[in-house]
Amino acid sequence: MSQRKARELRRSSTNESPDFTRGRRRRSTVIAIVAAASVVALVAAGVFVARDTGPAQAVSSTSGSSVSFSGEDPITGKNVSLADYAGKPVVINVWGSWCEGCIAEAVDLRTFVERHPEVQMIGVDLQDTKDAARAFYARWGWRHPGVFDPRGEISASLGLQGTPTTFFLDREHRIVTRIVGATDLAGFERGLQEALSPS
């Protein structure tokens, strides 16, 4: 065997073949699609379970660790960070303009926010568009800050089980209780009472 052929043989054995590279890319794409589909399926299952059962009720779910996230507000374009509200109780509402339950509770949510200036409301706009979010805010008169979550990463980090979901955080930003599904003003009030009750 000539030295040239020997070199080519060694080179081909150390380099990845085009088929191998394509296979690796396909596997990465499949993993990404499966992860995204899992988030969508989880949200869809939560919506199905929560619908047509009357206003959803608060469920206690205190965790030891604090929640933390930040992102761009779909309405103002400014950065919104949970850390900006240190020491203040926070209510997080995960919603989307496409979500029927979010529409059903939109007026009561606005009223709740207006009644409780001592609490910080933050919306997490899930798998939406900024134009649709702006139209939703305008339609329902919402004014609270929000975070754009087009891929559902923030929602997943909160342990989302369906939309809408409202999380009630204590002053240390630990999730004390949550409401999975659409609720009413009384439901929001009960959730807040639980979050502010001394443990």
User: What is the pLDDT at residue 60?
Assistant: 62
Q: How far is CA 29 from CA 23, 24, 43, 152, in A?
A: 10, 9, 22, 18
Residue 136 — left, alpha, or beta (φ > 0 → left; ψ -120 to 50 → alpha)?
Answer: alpha
Mean pLDDT of the 79-88 span? 96
pLDDT tens per residue across span 30-66: 554 544 444 444 444 344 333 444 677 667 665 567 8
Task: Enter the pTM of the model.
Answer: 0.72
pLDDT tens per residue across span 114-161: 999 999 999 999 999 999 999 999 999 999 999 999 999 999 999 999
Question: The domain 49-196 is classified under which CATH number: 3.40.30.10, 3.40.50.1970, 3.30.390.30, 3.30.465.10?
Answer: 3.40.30.10
Burial class of residue 14 (count of CB atoms within 10 Å of its CB; 0-12, 13-18, 19+): exposed
Per-residue burial over 121-155, b = 16 or more CB atoms within 10 Å of its CB, e = otherwise: bbbbbbbbeeeebeebbeeeebebbbbbbeebebb
User: What is the pLDDT at residue 64?
Assistant: 61
Q: Residue ranges of the domains in the chain?
A: 49-196
